[in-house]
Amino acid sequence: MDEKELLRTVPLFSELSDADITSLGRLASRRRYPKDTVVFFENEEGDFFFMIVEGRIKVTILGDDGREIILSMLGPGDFFGEMALLDNEPRSATAIAVEESELLSLHRTDFQGTIGDNPAISAALIKVLSTRLRRANHQISTLALLDVYGRVARVILDMAREEGRRLKDGRIAFRRATHQEIANRIGTTRETVTRMLKDLERQGLVKIEGRELVLQPGFEKAFD
């Protein structure tokens, strides 16, 4: 696929005319990032906007003690790096490719020109930012209002709803994230997550089936 066809896969640009997509395609650069490569660090100056063609990008904040809190996992069709270009502040978080990824990037001038010329894109952008703010509010309430047991359960439910699939019997199955990843979403330790998961399993609320974790009936009701 060429840059133009790749841009068509980004929902943000779905409103663009063919001519606009073609000219934007000429301005975009394409690059592959091996697994575990940093795209940029928090607090750096940033001049590029990124779109994910393939792979997974972790948006994360690192504490001084090396602990991290995962803000979001983004996948194909998603974008990131817009904030530094919109408010002229440094990067608000670090972006890391957690799988080999292919990204398209646009320079600040071209990004600003595109949204300036296309109100439909600005509207689409604001919609995505609102959704992200809702998720962030949800994350704040999870962290501030629930005890650690509730946090583990809530983050599993969120991940299952975002990434999982509904089985015919209504249960949700999703990839078994590592205990470290779950811990890093809620600022706790891997050992705590392991302990809580065992407990949830003992209560019959989650079940491990092959490479997947399956939320059992009652889980959603208990932790929504």
Residues contributing to the site for ligand CMP (CB under 6 A) = 46, 59, 71-72, 80-84, 91-93, 95, 132, 136
Distance CA 184, CA 190 (A): 8
Question: In whole angstroms, how close is the CB of 221 to ligand CMP at the nearest point?
Answer: 27
Decide whether 138 or 166 has the Cβ nearer to ligand CMP. Answer: 138
217 by DSSP, 3-state: which?
A: coil
CA distance 82 to 198: 40
Q: What percentage of the chain's residues is helix, strand, coil (to nearest 5)?
A: 45, 25, 30
What minimum distance in Å lies between the beta carbon of 204 and ligand CMP?
Answer: 33
Closest CB to ligand CMP among 135 and 195? 135
Residue 51 or 156: which CB sits closer to ligand CMP? Answer: 51
Euclidean distance between the first and final Cα of the chain, in Å? 41
Q: For the CB of residue 71, give the shortest distance to ligand CMP in the complex, in Å.
A: 4
Residue 18 Cβ, how far from ligand CMP at the closest point, in Å?
27
Q: Is the CB of 25 or the CB of 46 nearer to ligand CMP? A: 46
CB 217 within 8 A of CB 144: no
